[in-house]
Amino acid sequence: MAGISTFTASYQSPGIIMRQIVIGLLFAILWASAAVATKFGIHSADALILANVRFLLAGGGMLLFAYLGQKGEHRLPRGKEWKQLLIFGSLNTTVYLGCFVLAMKSVSAGIGSLSTATSPLFIMVISALWLKRSLKWYEIVGMLLGMAGVGLATYPLLHDSHATVGGIATLLFGMLAVSVATVYYARIKWEMANVVINGWQVFLGGLLFIPITAFFANFETSHLDLRFWLSVGWLIIPVSIIALQLWFYLVRKDAVRASLWLFLCPVFGFLYSSVLLHEPITWFTFAGTFLVIGGLYLAQREKFQKKVADEK
């Protein structure tokens, strides 16, 4: 998710404010559903197969829309752009989404949603290292609170088979990969439309994932039944297409306020996991989620304070 927008302190009608609230809620509701949809899908087919089908269909669909649906408006990548797309796609799709899907085999859907909300913390640290600047005290404390929150929410699940240490490690490695990808994306001066960039990075990421699927996936126990295709369809359309478009809208309106909607994703994620998958919610869950949200806010306090000051 990348983009910047400047929000002026001009008056906004109640209708516009309500529209942004509805869009923000819808984004959080859809984005948080990815983990549950993945959980349903891997009951029918190997996680690697689910991931690969999703990548190729989603990426291919976006490219068909860009080059056929908007014929003549977009060009093919050229020169070093292919290398940039391969690097971005390998990190953002092959590694990150591959790790996320694999982790869902041994981690609850709620923890999966909670982990995605920690992405801004990873991005903050990686950006600081990339730009060779020192981290501020509240950024460090925010990062520690976020990691402590994930650990606290996960702790009781380790004892009742709803999470494993390996699954948590896989999730965190994936979050590291997508955070590096986000920083890399922001450092490139792209000359293609977002739909083309996203289409190619997802499709190329899917192509890079094929050898992994071919060698390690269990094809014998996989069944591409209705549940599998419903899961893939949900991950592609409501999550990858609709939720991302809503996110881009929120970012264009106000990048700082948009990040606040990420705080709701773990809440909806745990709600889905409890109602649809009957995964446990304990006081550890609430305490851990509170720590993650607190850590996210603290780490970005400078942005929020600057926002308030600009609006006065």
Please give the span between the terminal C-alpha atoms of the chain, in angstroms, as a whole number: 28
pLDDT at 86: 96
- Rounded Cα distance, 231 and 223, in Å: 13
List, in order, residues 6 or more apart from 43 with CB less than 8 Å away: 227
Please report, rounded to a whole number, the percentage of residues in the chain having pLDDT higher than 70. Answer: 87
**Tens digit of each residue's pLDDT (9 = 90 or more) over 268-296:** 888 888 888 888 888 888 888 888 888 87
Query: Cα(240)–Cα(194) distance, rounded to whole angstroms?
Result: 13
Residue indicated by tokens 């806010």:
297
> Which tens digits make up the pLDDT trace of 86-140?
999 999 999 998 999 988 888 888 888 787 777 777 777 887 887 777 777 777 8
Paired tokens of 45: 């087919």
pLDDT of amino acid 250: 79
Average pLDDT over residues 236-241: 87
Decide if pLDDT at 309 tops 70: no
Q: What sign has the CA pseudo-torsion 96, 249, 234, 59?
A: negative
